[in-house]
Amino acid sequence: MQGIDQDGLSVHYRLSQEQIESYQTEGYLLYRQPVFSPSKFSRLKNIFEEDLRNYGEDKLDTIHFRDERLLEYLLSDEVLNIVEPLVGPNIGLWSSHFISKPPHTGKATPWHEDSAYWKGRISTMAGICTVWLAMDAVMPENGCMRVIPRTHSGGFSEYEPVDASKNIFDAQIKPNLIDESKAVYFTLNPNECSLHEARLIHGAQANTSDRRRAGYTMRYFPTSSYIIPETNNGHLIWLARGKDIAGNKYVN
């Protein structure tokens, strides 16, 4: 799909019109093509393995705050040309997170909406997009992401406590609000990605397999959304593409 950037130059977006419409309707999209060249992905994989050794699997959220090498990927045309048809031409980098679930002991991720954890931090959840880049092969056996399609119109379901020793979070959406028969499981090869809207209900089962499950989440927002300073103390954002609309303060 072709587009025109703010300077009037042609941009080759990486999604078809059919894919864009599917994302808007379903709240997610599977992009089963390589995101980066083999050599560039190999360098990212090496950065991930290094950060995993240095920080541990529980301290990899907003990892680009500590490892600036990741900005080459987060602000890359390869990723932004996938994101722009979904978010719009003015894109902010909201966050990133290496997620690693080891074999046999990787905890479950309860059903949740990302928006529920960001309440009060952003003026609107509409338009926030997460790119989930597979670092390893992911499948149901090792706890791949699963989603409930078409649940991205709300964003603030009712939650209840769960056992934090068995789950990544200490709360989950109440089971009576979930129809698990509608769940779609995201099977991906390394260097492929999924995309989902911030309000979409999603989660993952525990990794009980012999294989690690690792991914890199790259999160973006339309700059028409305002990042509230008072509730984002110390949280850094970057202007990834285009221009600011809402008056946000960026690193660059």
138 contacts: CB under 8 Å, gap ≥ 6: 144, 145, 186, 187, 188, 213, 215
- Distance in angstroms (rounded) separating the CA atoms of residues 94 and 248: 12
Whether the predicted pLDDT of 3 surpasses 80: no
242 contacts: CB under 8 Å, gap ≥ 6: 6, 88, 89, 90, 91, 223
- Predicted pLDDT of residue 10: 40
Choices 3.40.50.10300, 3.30.2290.10, 3.90.228.20, 2.60.120.620: CATH for 18-241? 2.60.120.620
Q: Chain-wide mean pLDDT for the chain?
A: 94
> How much is the pTM?
0.93
- Distance in angstroms (rounded) separating the CA atoms of residues 29 and 188: 12
Condensed to tens digits (0 to 9), the pLDDT of residues 211-221 reads: 999 999 999 99
Residue range 97-108: average pLDDT?
93
- Predicted pLDDT of residue 12: 67
Residue range 97-115: average pLDDT?
94
Residue range 155-180: average pLDDT?
94
Whether the predicted pLDDT of 22 surpasses 60: yes
- Predicted pLDDT of residue 231: 97
Whether the predicted pLDDT of 147 surpasses 80: yes
Contact of 107 with 198, CB cutoff 8 Å: no
Q: How many CA atoms lie within 13 A of 20 on its CB side?
A: 15
